[in-house]
């Protein structure tokens, strides 16, 4: 009589299905862990560039503060002793202590005088000394003043203490610092004018009151 052994077949099915379910469960677990870790990994990867940018920004701020600090040794901060004159694309006078040489290709060199260079003003014309096709440390810069028609008169000579190479980010900070100092000077000057005006008005009022009192005393007498 033909019989079917269901016990053996069920064992066979369990032997096949059991490992399959185990493998499937492990795969699902791994996928779930991967999905759970993905946001953390993405957040870590996104945080790394931000941290790098913040570190560069802080380094730029510290370097600019060192350049503008009272008593700063700009010669020690200098990077190049001379600049080839043929590479100078432009000169930007920011104020009477700060000049930027544009060498092209985002290559900028800052000249920061220890004291004010008389005659230098924002965007003013200047002349500078060239020796052997180079502009070097201790060479002179002069402002050019317009006298009459088509006549430029050079101002006092100011010696270049150093050329400080600055990045684009540092140059933006330098310009912002110069603009802030200019705004502070203007605000202080306006406040002083207002104070002098108020003092003058107070003196005039005091004189008027004194004159009125004298007149009243004369009338009363």
Looking at the domain assignment, is residue 107 inside a domain? yes
Looking at the domain assignment, is residue 194 inside a domain? yes
Q: Is the pLDDT of residue 195 over 90?
A: no
Looking at the domain assignment, is residue 122 inside a domain? yes
Weakest-pLDDT range from 10-14, 48-52, 132-136, 197-201: 10-14
What is the domain range of residue 161? 52-208
Give the closest residue to 79 by CA, choosing from 103, 56, 105.
103
Phi, psi of 169 (to 5 degrees): -65, -40
Q: Is the pLDDT of residue 217 over 70?
A: yes
Q: What is the pLDDT of residues 141-162, one digit of tens each?
A: 999 887 877 788 888 999 999 9
Looking at the domain assignment, is residue 119 inside a domain? yes
Looking at the domain assignment, is residue 125 inside a domain? yes
Q: Is the pLDDT of residue 28 over 50?
A: no
Q: What is the pLDDT of residues 7-19, one digit of tens each?
A: 333 334 344 444 4
Looking at the domain assignment, is residue 221 inside a domain? no
Q: What is the pLDDT of residues 50-84, one digit of tens each?
A: 777 788 888 888 888 988 888 777 777 777 789 99
The predicted pLDDT at position 26 comes to 47
Looking at the domain assignment, is residue 17 inside a domain? no
The number of folded domains in the chain is: 1
For residue 214 the two structure tokens come to 């004298």
* Beta strands per DSSP E along 72-187: 82-84, 90-95, 98-102, 108-112, 126-128, 134-136, 140-146, 152-154, 158-159, 164-166
pTM over 0.95: no
Q: What is the pLDDT of residues 170-194, one digit of tens each?
A: 999 999 998 888 888 788 878 888 8
Looking at the domain assignment, is residue 13 inside a domain? no
Do β-strands 164-166 and 108-112 pair in parallel, antiparallel, or remain unpaired? Answer: antiparallel
């Amino acid at each position: 009589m033909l019989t079917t052994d269901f016990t053996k077949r069920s064992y066979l099915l369990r032997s096949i299905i059991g490992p399959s379910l185990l493998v499937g469960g492990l795969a699902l677990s791994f996928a779930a862990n991967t999905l759970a870790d993905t946001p953390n990994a993405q957040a870590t990867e996104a945080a790394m560039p931000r941290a790098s940018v913040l570190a560069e920004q802080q380094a730029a701020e510290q370097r600019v503060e060192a350049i503008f600090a009272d008593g700063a040794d700009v010669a020690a901060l200098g990077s190049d002793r001379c600049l080839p004159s043929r590479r100078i694309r432009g000169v930007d006078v920011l104020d009477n202590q700060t000049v930027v040489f544009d060498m092209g290709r985002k290559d900028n060199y800052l000249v920061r005088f220890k004291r004010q260079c008389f005659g230098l003003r924002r965007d003013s014309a200047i002349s500078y000394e060239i020796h052997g096709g180079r502009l070097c440390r201790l060479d002179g810069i002069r402002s050019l003043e317009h006298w009459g028609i088509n006549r430029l008169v050079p101002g006092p000579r100011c010696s270049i203490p150093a050329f400080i190479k600055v990045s684009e980010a540092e140059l933006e900070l330098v310009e912002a610092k110069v603009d802030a100092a200019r705004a502070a000077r203007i605000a202080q000057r306006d406040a002083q004018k207002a104070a002098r005006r108020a003092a003058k008005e107070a003196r005039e009022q005091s004189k008027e009151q004194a004159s009125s009192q004298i007149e009243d005393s004369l009338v009363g007498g």
